[in-house]
Structure 1
Amino acid sequence: MVDTPDFEHVVFGSTPLCALLAGLLASAHGRRVCLVGDPHTAFRLHHGFDLAIDVMARPETLTLLQGLTEETLKLINGLGKGLVERIDPLFISETAQSSAGLDHFRHLALAFGYGVEPIVDPQLSAHAICRVRDVAMLPPGRIEPALEAWLDGLGVRRLARSTTEIWLRRDGTVRLTHNDSELTGANAVLADDAAVTTHVPEDQRDKMLVSESRLLLLAEPDRAVPGPLLCWLDRGVSVNQAGRAGIAVVAGGDPATAAQRIGASAARHGALKRAGEALVPALRTADGAPYLGTARNSRATVLAGFGPTAAFFAPAIARYIAGAARSDEAAWFTARGASRGRPRSSVTDISMVTA
């Protein structure tokens, strides 16, 4: 007789996507779910920004994202007030290649009804700047406590990664030890970069996944940022006005050049007084498209490369994992699955350059 696992899905990760995915698997699909990650703390630096748009080239992705954004915001607005901000992010390119991609995105977004406009700012050393109007953003520091309370209300078990021993098996199942109790899960879902890099050795990851580092910085500039969120495509740097706390900066790519790229991106704001800094492992995809597949020699589910829009894909990811995806969603995820060493040329997308 085979023992019934304690959980049908064990989601690993500490981002809003991870919490939303765990909650939706429980609430919308009736699954027994455990979330293993780092509990929210006000002292945790921003690992990224959850934004309902990104520079992209594929119309099928923007079509999917539009519908999912409405679905996600309906859920989040039901969790409390002040959990969604509306901002006008700036996307900045400095080379001919990235400017061509940004121009393609601008025309695509216009066709989909987004308020998109090219702007000129003499103080920004840029080849092209694109502003997107009225974009939903999940404010870091406010969304996490609301999601944790929601999960508790759903009966989703939450375990701190630091106090949990984890064993992933090749068949995708998982065994956990927490406070001398042993728990089991039928399906491991590695839903953020930290989870993937921690539990899947590099030689067992799909070749489409590229390891890099991410420098996180909280700083106090001399002058205000000219917008709530600036994304420098060629530098791989995002700068967010973090209220009275100053600015939160995330820089991907080579850690040896990250500080220099951040300095160039924030040069117009004067000297930066650093209030916090961390270097964390990260992943990107070689073709710029999201990835939802498995590890090599394992059936554990791996998510990577969804960028700032990751949280807004949560409803579709939950349906896909639960075997309830709509036909358009299933086709989209299948095309962005494991490459098995082959190029995914049909889904290649625009990505930030993080040299």
Structure 2
Amino acid sequence: MSDGPVDFAIFGSDPLAQLLAGLLASQHRQRIVLISADRSVFGLNSAMDLSIGAFTRPETWALLRQAVSETTKLLVRIGAKAGIERIDPVLFAETAEGKQALAYIRHVAHGFGQHVERLATGAMGMDRDGILFRDAIWLDRARTQPMLSTWLQRNGVKRLAASKVQVTFNSSGGAEIATEGNTLRAERAVLADDNSIITMVAKTLFGQQLRQYASTVLLTEPAGPLLAPVMMQIDRALTLSQGPTRAVAALVAAGADDALAQAGGLLANHAHLRLAGLGKFQHLRTGDGAQFIGRLQFGGPEIIAGMGPTGAFMAPALARWLAGSASAEESGYFGHRDVRDNAGSLVADYAPGLAP
């Protein structure tokens, strides 16, 4: 039996994938199916959603200036205001290359309206430089998720569990999705999170565009306050965060042993801190540090990767791009982040702490 066709099949579990699905349905009148997997491990999230990141490209900060406001207003409108936290996050580095990138990030972000302050010498410990962003937005996924689910249902987005479907992609960018005796045809398929890409695309097809790496999420028991609610060490791709429970979550681009050592070094001043949870994940980065939006060289589904912590905030602009109604600025931005030669990349960005 075959169900009626849909315009887009969106694959992903993160807020970016859900926002894309809902926006394409509600604002662009597209027929949508969202195929998601449960990516939490004992309540641990493998990524975070923050309105700033370690970006050196001026055009990224220019796009974020409008995108963050638009996404925040959308979340308030759908009833997810409780999931929006305004914080003052810190970015820091200890290597010479990382410190140079940090100084450039501060300069460029300030030029596009971000309130960025250099931390006093020694605030991050010996041999580290840090900058503090004022009034950034951090999404609490646990509080946001129920409102996103209601919004998706209200706008007619069909939801399927990734574990219950079999998917066949075609060279034109569409897909056939078989589930429980039914087959659903999608005109276009979009893989919008790392797990979907890793699960559905053979690693041999990544070419020089995508690189897979292990990451670890550590959760401690409640601890004393960190210097900031979110702290990103940009030259190690390590993020510490601390919410209302005072537990510290560490997202580290490394295997478990290295992650414990790296996070433990940063938390050495918190005596007798005990580990409460550990999750292992696989993630993707791009070969040149920039975002990837497009198809790999073999054709097939459209892929969104390398968005960093700001992916959810880019959702309205990405939805317009997919629907063919993007502004000139948005078209220029996303259009240059398709398949490219990393050696001569015109959009290369700082690629923190990961070996080639």
Q: TM-score, normalised by structure 2?
A: 0.93
Structure 1 residue 259, shift from structure 2 partner: 2.3
Number of aligned residue pairs: give it: 352
Match in the other structure for 1:100: 100
| 1:1-355 matched pairs, under 5 angstroms | 6-38=5-37, 43-80=42-79, 81-120=81-120, 121-122=122-123, 124-220=125-221, 222-244=223-245, 246-253=247-254, 257-339=258-340, 341-354=341-354
CA distance in 1, matches of 2:259, 2:115: 31
Question: Quick check: 1:9–1:185 contact (8 Å CA) kept in 2?
Answer: yes
CA distance in 2, matches of 1:262, 1:7: 45
Which stretch has the larger CA shift, 178-187 or 189-198?
A: 178-187
Question: For residue 77 of structure 2, what is the amino acid of its counterpart?
Answer: G
Question: For residue 307 of structure 1, what is the amino acid of its counterpart?
Answer: G
CA distance in 1, matches of 2:343, 2:11: 28
Question: Quick check: 1:50–1:308 contact (8 Å CA) kept in 2?
Answer: yes
Question: For residue 158 of structure 1, what is the amino acid of its counterpart?
Answer: R
Question: Quick check: 1:214–1:281 contact (8 Å CA) kept in 2?
Answer: yes
Question: Quick check: 1:235–1:352 contact (8 Å CA) kept in 2?
Answer: yes
CA distance in 1, matches of 2:325, 2:207: 25
Question: Quick check: 1:236–1:353 contact (8 Å CA) kept in 2?
Answer: yes
Q: 1:325 to 1:194 in 2, by over 3 A?
A: same
Structure 1 residue 227, shift from structure 2 partner: 1.3
Which stretch has the larger CA shift, 267-276 or 24-33?
A: 267-276
Question: For residue 16 of structure 1, what is the amino acid of its counterpart?
Answer: P
Structure 1 residue 248, shift from structure 2 partner: 1.6
CA distance in 2, matches of 1:180, 1:17: 29
Partner of 2:278, secondary structure, is strand
Partner of 2:320, secondary structure, is helix
CA distance in 1, matches of 2:101, 2:124: 22
Question: Quick check: 1:224–1:269 contact (8 Å CA) kept in 2?
Answer: no
CA distance in 2, matches of 1:119, 1:322: 42
The C-alpha deviation readout for 1:139-173, integer Å capped at 9, x for no partner, is 12111121111101101011111222222233322
Structure 1 vs Structure 2 CA RMSD: 2.0
Question: For residue 225 of structure 1, what is the amino acid of its counterpart?
Answer: L
The percentage of aligned residue pairs carrying the same residue is: 34
CA distance in 1, matches of 2:28, 2:35: 19
Partner of 2:299, secondary structure, is coil
Structure 1 residue 116, shift from structure 2 partner: 0.8
The C-alpha deviation readout for 1:83-110, integer Å capped at 9, x for no partner, is 2110000101001111111101111222
Residue segments in structure 2 that go unaligned for 5+ positions in a row: none
The C-alpha deviation readout for 1:154-197, integer Å capped at 9, x for no partner, is 01011111222222233322122223322221111000000111
Question: Quick check: 1:336–1:344 contact (8 Å CA) kept in 2?
Answer: no
CA distance in 1, matches of 2:237, 2:39: 26
The C-alpha deviation readout for 1:32-59, integer Å capped at 9, x for no partner, is 0011113587943111111111121111
Question: For residue 32 of structure 1, what is the amino acid of its counterpart?
Answer: R
Q: 1:8 to 1:344 in 2, by over 3 A?
A: farther
Which stretch has the larger CA shift, 36-45 or 176-185?
A: 36-45
Which stretch has the larger CA shift, 256-265 or 28-37?
A: 256-265
Partner of 1:142, secondary structure, is helix
Question: For residue 93 of structure 2, what is the amino acid of its counterpart?
Answer: S
CA distance in 2, matches of 1:71, 1:353: 31
Question: Quick check: 2:221–2:248 contact (8 Å CA) kept in 1?
Answer: yes
CA distance in 1, matches of 2:256, 2:160: 31
Question: Quick check: 1:40–1:145 contact (8 Å CA) kept in 2?
Answer: no
Q: 1:151 to 1:329 in 2, by over 3 A?
A: same
Question: Quick check: 2:65–2:113 contact (8 Å CA) kept in 1?
Answer: no
Q: TM-score, normalised by structure 1?
A: 0.93
Partner of 2:225, secondary structure, is coil
CA distance in 2, matches of 1:206, 1:190: 17
Residue segments in structure 1 that go unaligned for 5+ positions in a row: none
Q: 1:109 to 1:246 in 2, by over 3 A?
A: same
Q: 1:93 to 1:123 in 2, by over 3 A?
A: closer
Question: Quick check: 1:193–1:283 contact (8 Å CA) kept in 2?
Answer: yes
Q: 1:161 to 1:235 in 2, by over 3 A?
A: same
Question: For residue 273 of structure 2, what is the amino acid of its counterpart?
Answer: L
Question: Quick check: 1:221–1:271 contact (8 Å CA) kept in 2?
Answer: no
Structure 1 residue 283, shift from structure 2 partner: 0.3
Structure 1 residue 125, shift from structure 2 partner: 3.9
